[in-house]
């Protein structure tokens, strides 16, 4: 199955943490990192009083179910030092979001696919557009149309 994940870091060396997460994912059984977008520097979203993020999106090929893939991604975050707290959108050493898995749609308590806020975030849409300009987000629309509808967000390509 084809899947896309968003990666971000705003603590420590952001680009190095994103690369470490990509390497960890690619070493897992049943996951292959196919392509990675450019890295982007973006202003924090949600809780804005924090350092800017390094963000990227990766295309994966996986034999795992979406639920099992999410479990691997959460475990990867923990192995890389992610500490979860009760403050939503707080600074983090690594964040890996499962954005979409093919045309799979889920609104379960543990997994929402496609990611429920991906169409509102330029730091997700711009790298996705780079990887697949024709990608259609189930129930939402094309990545290009979503990005065109957004108000300007502070994002710039680092490469």
What is the distance between the alpha carbons of residues 105 and 66, in angstroms, rounded to a whole number? Answer: 10
- How far from 106 is each of 51, 75, 84, CA to CA, in Å? 32, 21, 23
* Residues above pLDDT 90, as percent of the chain: 84
pLDDT mean across residues, the chain: 93
Confidence of residue 86 (pLDDT cuts 50, 70, 90): low
Would you state the pLDDT for residue 97?
96
Average pLDDT over every residue of 14-41: 97
CB 25 within 8 A of CB 31: yes
In this predicted model, what pLDDT tens digit does every residue of 145-156 receive, in sequence order? 999 999 888 899
Domains of the chain, earliest start first: 2-157 (3.30.70.560)
- Give 87's pLDDT tier (boundaries 50, 70, 90): low
Q: Per-residue pLDDT for 46 more than 80?
A: no
Whether the predicted pLDDT of 1 surpasses 90? yes
Q: Report the pLDDT value the prediction gives residue 49, as an integer from 0 to 100.
A: 80
Q: How far is CA 128 from CA 3, 49, 125, 146, 147, in A?
A: 11, 26, 5, 11, 10
Is the pLDDT confidence value at 83 over 90?
no
């Amino acid at each position: 199955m084809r899947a896309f994940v968003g990666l971000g870091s705003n603590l420590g060396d952001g680009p190095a943490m994103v690369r470490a997460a990509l390497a960890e994912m690619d070493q897992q059984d049943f996951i292959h990192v196919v392509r990675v977008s450019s890295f982007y520097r973006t202003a924090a979203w949600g809780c804005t009083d924090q350092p800017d993020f390094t963000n990227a999106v990766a295309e994966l090929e996986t034999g795992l179910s979406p639920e099992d893939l999410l479990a691997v991604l959460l475990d990867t975050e923990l192995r890389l030092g992610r500490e979860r707290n009760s403050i939503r959108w707080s600074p983090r050493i690594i964040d890996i979001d499962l954005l979409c898995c093919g045309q799979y749609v889920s609104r379960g308590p543990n997994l929402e696919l496609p990611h429920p806020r991906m169409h509102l975030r330029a730091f997700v849409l711009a790298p996705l557009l780079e990887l697949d300009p024709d990608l259609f987000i189930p129930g939402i629309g094309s990545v290009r149309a979503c990005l065109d509808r957004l108000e300007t967000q502070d994002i710039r390509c680092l490469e």
